[in-house]
Chain A
Amino acid sequence: MPGHHDTAGAAMPTYVGMPAFPDAARAAVRDTQLRRNLAHATTTIRAKRVTAVGELADWAELRETGKQIKDHTIEHLGHYLRLLEEQVTARGGTVHWARDAAEANQVVTDLIKATGETEVVKVKSMATQEIGLNEALDAAGIHAYETDLAELIVQLGGDRPSHILVPAIHRNRAEIREIFRREMPGVPDDLTDDPARLAAAAREHLRERFLAAKVAVSGANFAVAETGSLVVVESEGNGRMCLTLPETLISVMGIEKVLPTWRDLEVFLQLLPRSSTAERMNPYTSVWSGATEGQTFHLVLVDNGRTATRDDEVGRQALRCIRCSACLNVCPVYQRAGGHAYGSPYPGPIGAILSPQLRGAGSPVDDSLPYASTLCGACFEACPVAIDIPEVLVHLRSRAVHGRTERAAMRFAAWTLRSPTRLAFGQRLAGTAGRVLGRRGFIGRLPGPMARWTDTRDAPVPATETFRDWWNRR
C-alpha cells in the first residue's frame, strides 16, 4: 500500500536538519531582534485578548460547550465524516480521502493537473502546511502563490512560518519593508515601513493574480456535517478572493475540523475571533455548502496521524484545537524561543502536544517537544476549548521511554540522599565537576549514556561551595 505508513517523517515533514528544541531555542533566545519582535507582538495581542474575552460574561459557558461539542465529535468522528461526505456530495461537491500527507498531496496535485493549470492561489491553511503541499506541488511543476500577507512575507523571504495566526510574527515592519523591496517586482521606491503602506503593496502585488486565477486551494476552519457547509475565517479578503473567483476550489481539511450541526457555529464563531485576533468578529467569514455559483468544488479529508492521536485517551484532546493561537501568545517559552525552535508548522504549546502525536514520536525534535514547557498552565487557561496542555505534556513525557542510565542515576541519587556523609561528599564532588562541566554557565549536553537526559534539559552549574560549608564558615 504505497504512501500509507505511520512512520515518523512520512506523516508530517520535520523541517530538514531540525535540531532538538533546546538547541534551536538556545540560538533563538540569543537573537535579541527576534526576542524584541516576539515580545512586542505577543504583549500587544495578550492584552487585547483579555479585553475581548472579558466582554462576554458567559465565556466560561461558551468554552465548556465548545469543548464538549469537540469531544463529542471526535468520539463519533466516523459518523460525522460520513454525514459530511453525504451532504457535500448531495450539494454538488466531490469528497476525497487521504490517509497521510503523501496521499493528500497526490490527490491535490492530480486535481490541479486535471484542470491543465500550473499556477494556483492559496489561502493560508495549517493543513496544507502540515502536509507540505507547496513543496509537493512545486515538484510537480505547479506554483502555489500564498496570498495571506504574513504567508507572503514568509514565502518572499524564503523563510519558515513561526506562528499559527501570524506566520511572520518574527519579522518587524522594517524587516518586512526590506523583504518587499528585495523580492517584490515593481514595488514603489518610496515604500515606507508604515503597515498601511506595506499592506497596500501586498494588495497591488497580488491583485492581477487574484483576478486571473483559475484554481484555488484553501483550508477550512469548520465543516458542518448536517449541512455540508465549509467555513473559512479570515481578515484580508484574500480568502474571499480565492474562494470566490476561481473556477475550481480545492479545500484541504483535517478530519477533526467537522462539527455536527449548523447551530454549533454560534459557539465557534464567538470563541475563535476573540481568542485569535482578539476581535469581536474577524473582518470576513465565508460559508459555502457544496459547489457554489457554478464552481467546481473538491473537499480533501486528511487523516495524517489524527486517527492515531484519537486512540490516545489523554492525548486526543489536542484534536479539539481550533488553531486560534492564544496559547502561543501567552506562553513564556514561546515568547522567548520563537516558533521556529518547535520544528513544525504547529509551534508553541499546542505544537508541543500536537506535532509529536501527529507524527508519532521518534525524531530528536519530537522527543524534546513535550519538555518545551514550564507547565505554568497559561496555555490551558487561554485555550477556548479547554485543552489541558500541561496534562498532555506530562502524559507525553511519561510515554517516552526512560533510559537505563536515568533509572541508575535515580537509584544512585536515592542512595546518596539517605546518608548525610554521602550527601556532603557528593555535594563537594558536584562543585568540582561543575567547575569543569559548566564553563558556559549551564550544563548542556553530556556525552555517552547521560545524553538521553541532558539532550532535552539544561542544568545550572552546581554551586562551587555547598550550603553547609558556607554556613560553617560564617
Chain B
Amino acid sequence: MSAREEILRRLGDAPVTGYDAIPRHYLRRHHDGDVVDLFAERAADYRAQVRRIARAELPAVLGEPDGRFAVPAGLPDAWTAEVDAVRDDPPLSVADLDALDGVITGCAVAIAETGTVVLDHGPGQGRRALTLVPDFHLVVVETGQIVADVPEAIERLSPDRPLTFVSGPSATSDIELSRVEGVHGPRRLSILIVDA
C-alpha cells in the first residue's frame, strides 16, 4: 500500500458535514470611520516611512530619492517621469536587481488595522523577486485600495495570484525577542498614499 493510500485509509472516508455550522461571531472590522489615517498611523508604527500626497505631486515625490530604481511593467509612465528608472522588461537578473538602489511599485490592497500592504504581483507590481532583492521599496497606495481589516482584504484578494503581505521593512525578533528592523528583505519601506 502506498503512503498516500495508507494515510488516507487511517483517516477514514466520512462525509463532510458541519463546516457551515462553525460560528463566526468575530468582527469584520475593528475600526469604523476613516481607514486612510488609520493605515498611515499603523504602517508608521512598523517603521515604514509614510506620506500622504496629492496625485499630482506623485511624479515629483517619486523623483526625490537618488539612485536607479527598478520599475515593473504596468506602472503608469507618468508616475516615473522624473525617476532614473530601469524597466524589468525583459526581466532583470538577480544580480542586476541587487545592484539597483530600489524599486517602485503599486499594490493590490492595503490593510489599515495592521498597516499592511499586499502585493498580488499583477500589473504595476512586478514579479516577486522585484520587490525583494532591491534594498528600498517605494510603494504607492491609492486610498481606494485601503480596506479596514484582514477579513475584507482576504475577500478582495485572489488565491489565483501569488501574494506578498508586507508590514514594515524586514525585521527580526530573534535576538532576545526584541524587534530589530533590517534583515534580508528591503531595509527601507516607503509608502506614498494618494487619493484614488
Contact of B175 with A195 in the complex, beta carbons under 8 Å: yes
Residue in contact with B174 in the complex, picked from A72, A168, A263, CB distance below 8 Å: A168
Residue in contact with B114 in the complex, picked from A44, A75, A244, A280, CB distance below 8 Å: A280
For chain B, the bracket of interface size reads: 35 or more
Q: What are the interface flags for A31-66 relative to B under an 8 Å C-beta threshold, 1 for contact and 0 otherwise?
A: 000000100111011000000000111100110110
Listed in ascending order, the chain A residues whose CB lies under 8 Å from chain B are 1, 4, 37, 40-42, 44-45, 55-58, 61-62, 64-65, 68-69, 72, 75-79, 81-82, 97-99, 103, 147-150, 153, 165-166, 168-169, 172-173, 176, 195-196, 198-200, 202-203, 206-207, 210-211, 224, 227-229, 235-238, 240-241, 243-245, 255, 260-263, 265-267, 269-270, 273, 277, 279-289, 292-293, 301, 303, 307, 310
List residues of chain A with CB within 8 A of the CB of B166: 283-284
CB distance from B23 to the nearest CB of A (A): 6
Contact of A173 with B176 in the complex, beta carbons under 8 Å: yes
Contact flag A270-B168 (CB < 8 Å), given A44-B178, A280-B115: no
Contact of B176 with A284 in the complex, beta carbons under 8 Å: no
Give the complex CA separation of A68 and B22 in angstroms: 6
Contact of A203 with B159 in the complex, beta carbons under 8 Å: no
Contact of A265 with B154 in the complex, beta carbons under 8 Å: yes
Contact of A211 with B26 in the complex, beta carbons under 8 Å: no
Contact flag A293-B162 (CB < 8 Å), given A58-B26, A211-B95: yes
List residues of chain A with CB within 8 A of the CB of B46: 279, 283
List residues of chain B with CB within 8 A of the CB of A303: 3, 7, 10
Q: What are the interface flags for B156-186 relative to A under an 8 Å C-beta threshold, 1 for contact and 0 otherwise?
A: 0001101111111111111111111111111
CB distance from A76 to the nearest CB of B (A): 5
Give the complex CA separation of A338 and B115 in angstroms: 34
Contact flag A78-B11 (CB < 8 Å), given A58-B27, A64-B23, A287-B162: yes
Contact of B164 with A286 in the complex, beta carbons under 8 Å: yes
DSSP majority for the B interface?
A: loop
Contact of B114 with A281 in the complex, beta carbons under 8 Å: yes
Contact flag A285-B18 (CB < 8 Å), given A97-B4, A166-B173, A303-B7: no
Q: Which residue on A lies nearest to B3, using beta carbons? A: A97
Contact flag A238-B183 (CB < 8 Å), given A44-B178, A263-B154, A310-B11: yes
Contact of B174 with A65 in the complex, beta carbons under 8 Å: no
DSSP majority for the A interface?
A: helix
Contact of B182 with A196 in the complex, beta carbons under 8 Å: yes
Contact of A199 with B185 in the complex, beta carbons under 8 Å: no
Contact of A97 with B7 in the complex, beta carbons under 8 Å: yes
List residues of chain A with CB within 8 A of the CB of B184: 147, 203, 206-207, 210, 236-238, 240-241
Contact flag A150-B165 (CB < 8 Å), given A99-B7, A211-B95: no
Listed in ascending order, the chain B residues whose CB lies under 8 Å from chain A are 1-4, 6-8, 10-14, 16, 18-19, 22-27, 30, 42, 45-46, 94-95, 98, 111, 113-116, 121, 127-129, 132-133, 150-151, 153-155, 159-160, 162-186
* The 10 nearest A-B residue pairs measured at CB: A237-B185, A78-B11, A227-B159, A237-B184, A281-B114, A236-B183, A285-B165, A150-B174, A287-B163, A266-B151
Contact of A269 with B150 in the complex, beta carbons under 8 Å: yes
Known A76-B16, A280-B115; 13 more pairs at CB < 8 Å: A65-B23, A166-B177, A195-B176, A195-B180, A235-B183, A236-B172, A241-B185, A255-B7, A263-B155, A270-B26, A277-B173, A283-B46, A287-B164
Contact of B16 with A280 in the complex, beta carbons under 8 Å: no
Contact of A283 with B169 in the complex, beta carbons under 8 Å: yes
Contact of B180 with A199 in the complex, beta carbons under 8 Å: yes
List residues of chain B with CB within 8 A of the CB of A200: 182
Contact flag A149-B174 (CB < 8 Å), given A211-B94, A310-B11: yes
Contact of B176 with A44 in the complex, beta carbons under 8 Å: yes
Give the complex CA separation of A14 and B180 in angstroms: 33
List residues of chain A with CB within 8 A of the CB of B180: 195-196, 199
Give the complex CA separation of A293 and B132 in angstroms: 14
List residues of chain B with CB within 8 A of the CB of A289: 159-160, 162
Contact of A284 with B164 in the complex, beta carbons under 8 Å: yes
Contact flag A237-B170 (CB < 8 Å), given A211-B98, A262-B154, A277-B179: yes
List residues of chain A with CB within 8 A of the CB of B182: 196, 199-200, 203
Contact of B30 with A244 in the complex, beta carbons under 8 Å: no
Contact flag A199-B154 (CB < 8 Å), given A64-B23, A82-B8: no
Q: Which residue on A lies nearest to B180, using beta carbons? A: A195
6 residue pairs from A and B, CB less than 8 Å apart:
A72-B19, A207-B184, A229-B159, A237-B183, A281-B165, A283-B168
Residue in contact with B132 in the complex, picked from A149, A240, A266, CB distance below 8 Å: A240
Give the complex CA separation of A417 and B106 in angstroms: 77
CB distance from A109 to the nearest CB of B (A): 15
Give the complex CA separation of A261 and B154 in angstroms: 11
Q: Which residue on A lies nearest to B168, using beta carbons? A: A283
Contact flag A65-B24 (CB < 8 Å), given A45-B177, A237-B170, A277-B179: yes
